[in-house]
Amino acid sequence: MPKYPMDFYFDLFEKGTFPTVVDNVFYSSDNSEMQRPQESPDTTMLDVNGLFYINHVPDYLDLKLKPGYRSRIFPLTKGFMADLSAYVDISDYLKANLKPRLRTAVKSNIRRLELSFNITYNVFYGEIGQGEYDSLVNCLYHFILRRFDELQEENARIDEWERFHQLFLPLIRQKKASLFVIYNDGKPINISLNYHYDKIFFYAIPGFDIDYSKFGLGHIMLYKQIEWCFQNNYKHFDMSMGDLDYKRQWCTNDYYFERYLIYRPTSIPELILAQTIVVSNKMKLYLKSKNIHLIYHRLLRFIKGIKPITKKETSPELRNTQAHTIPLESVDLRNYTLHQIDFKNEKYAFLLRHLYDYLFTQQLPINDLIVYEIQPYREYILYGPATKLKLILSAAQPLGH
């Protein structure tokens, strides 16, 4: 089998290097040449002796190999991107690619977010202090943990978090990466870590505070970052692998990550082995198209006695999500004691998502919201000056205060 597999995509963004055998890289759309790395990695002849793979080459790039080498190409997995080169600005891009309903919703959500909260935006691209960087990356980590705990899903990024934490600071300072942050009153509520190379902006690790879910923070972050890309002359906004709804909604097209099998045609053994691998890969692709791989993995799990993945036990906070509202007019408050609360106090954190949902629906600034607790019950009155009063019934988790 081929030796010395290389990962083109992540080596390009994380190390700023081309594989040794690659002479030049071109953009497929217009055949323009990609900027070459300023420094080449230390290599030995082992890197270019014998067959080997270059993995994860996006098909919107074409690799020109050095003399004496040829390649056979196989698809690996699908990716998604926004090709910005055909559009003048963010408005032009949105009009051409987003469905009218989503386009309207994104603009409305930005307006509502900025109405309800003291929202500011910042991009760290070149300058950031160690303390601020650590704080933002730790915040992003907890955003992702909480979000995927709620979804009862795993996130592969978490297992590599220490590596990412060490990796991104120097890249940001070298303008090879960036941190985009949306703040409410100076507190981060949406963060995205991104890679940069040449004309490509790689939307890599996003996360947001799920208390603000109603406002569609993920879409707002995409809007702000693509707007920044137009302002800074980026050609590709790459959302990478993973077939998710938001990527399909925002992309101009999908693409394939490809595997390059590199060999020397002058070597008869390498040529024969390369042809054998080509036939083998074609057979694998055919079987995959018939979903044989799914049957194989199910059979393997059965043989090993591995049980299907079940729902995880969620945290107490996430179990505290059952709530509903009713018009205040239908509630008799004469026998209740009302107590105004400071809902920004940490002990009322379990209420925030419901309060923010209310702000979104009523299009209300947070400073105009008053919250009363109906004692001794865990029930709350939400009071806005120009809206109906509502009662929110909290979940059954004890308050602990």
- Give the model confidence (pLDDT) of 72-111 as tens digits: 888 888 999 999 999 999 999 999 999 999 999 999 999 9
Residue 274 pLDDT exceeds 90? no
- Domain of residue 26 covers 6-77+255-303
What's the pLDDT band for 131 if we cut at 50, 70, 90?
A: very high
Are 211 and 265 part of one and the same domain? Answer: no
Spatial separation of the C-alpha atoms in residues 245 and 249, rounded to whole Å: 6
Are 106 and 49 part of one and the same domain? Answer: no
The pLDDT assigned to 194 comes to 97
One-letter amino acid of 196: H
The pLDDT assigned to 318 comes to 42
Residue 271 pLDDT exceeds 90? no
User: Of 181, 201, 234, which residue sits at a domain end?
Assistant: 234
Average pLDDT over residues 388-401: 50
Question: Do 222 and 60 form a contact (C-beta atoms < 8 A)?
Answer: no
The pLDDT assigned to 263 comes to 79
The pLDDT assigned to 96 comes to 95
Are 186 and 289 part of one and the same domain? Answer: no
User: Considering the domain boundaries, does residue 140 fall inside one?
Assistant: yes
What's the pLDDT band for 315 if we cut at 50, 70, 90?
A: very low
The pLDDT assigned to 299 comes to 64
The pLDDT assigned to 294 comes to 52
- State the total domains in the chain: 3
Residue 266 pLDDT exceeds 90? no
Average pLDDT over residues 46-55: 66
Spatial separation of the C-alpha atoms in residues 292 and 287, rounded to whole Å: 5
Are 265 and 293 part of one and the same domain? Answer: yes
pTM: predicted TM-score of the whole model, two decimal places: 0.82
Are 35 and 105 part of one and the same domain? Answer: no
User: Considering the domain boundaries, does residue 199 fall inside one?
Assistant: yes
Average pLDDT over residues 61-65: 93
Sign of CA dihedral 183, 186, 191, 193: positive
Of 267 and 61, the one with more pLDDT: 61
Residue 386 pLDDT exceeds 80? no
User: Considering the domain boundaries, does residue 247 fall inside one?
Assistant: no
Q: What is the mean pLDDT of the chain?
A: 82
* Interval 299-310: pLDDT, tens: 665 665 544 434
Residue 391 pLDDT exceeds 90? no
Calculate what percentage of the chain has a pLDDT beyond 70: 74
The pLDDT assigned to 262 comes to 85
Closest by alpha carbon to 201, among 31, 86, 82?
82
What's the full length of the chain, in residues? 401
What's the pLDDT band for 331 if we cut at 50, 70, 90?
A: low
Spatial separation of the C-alpha atoms in residues 53 and 66, rounded to whole Å: 15
Average pLDDT over residues 327-356: 81
Are 225 and 267 part of one and the same domain? Answer: no
Are 332 and 381 part of one and the same domain? Answer: yes
Instruction: Please tell me the least confidently modeled range out of 60-69, 190-199, 390-399.
Output: 390-399
User: Considering the domain boundaries, does residue 66 fall inside one?
Assistant: yes
Spatial separation of the C-alpha atoms in residues 60 and 275, rounded to whole Å: 25
User: Considering the domain boundaries, does residue 399 fall inside one?
Assistant: no
Number of other residues whose CB lies within 10 A of the CB of residue 22: 21
Residue 229 pLDDT exceeds 90? yes
User: Of 234, 263, 295, which residue sits at a domain end?
Assistant: 234
Spatial separation of the C-alpha atoms in residues 230 and 71, rounded to whole Å: 35
Are 69 and 96 part of one and the same domain? Answer: no
Are 230 and 99 part of one and the same domain? Answer: yes
Are 298 and 331 part of one and the same domain? Answer: no
Of 304 and 205, the one with more pLDDT: 205
User: Considering the domain boundaries, does residue 63 fall inside one?
Assistant: yes
Are 265 and 327 part of one and the same domain? Answer: no
Calculate what percentage of the chain has a pLDDT beyond 90: 50
User: Considering the domain boundaries, does residue 203 fall inside one?
Assistant: yes
Residue 114 pLDDT exceeds 60? yes
Spatial separation of the C-alpha atoms in residues 170 and 195, rounded to whole Å: 12
Q: Provide CB contacts within 8 A for 273, sequence distance 6+.
A: 51, 263
What's the pLDDT band for 381 if we cut at 50, 70, 90?
A: confident
Are 97 and 194 part of one and the same domain? Answer: yes
Closest by alpha carbon to 56, among 258, 262, 197, 202?
258
The residues pairing with 120 across neighbouring beta strands, listed in sequence order, are 183
- Structure tokens, 397: 């988790």
User: Considering the domain boundaries, does residue 311 fall inside one?
Assistant: no
Relative orientation angle of helices 292-304 and 268-289, to the nearest 10 degrees = 80
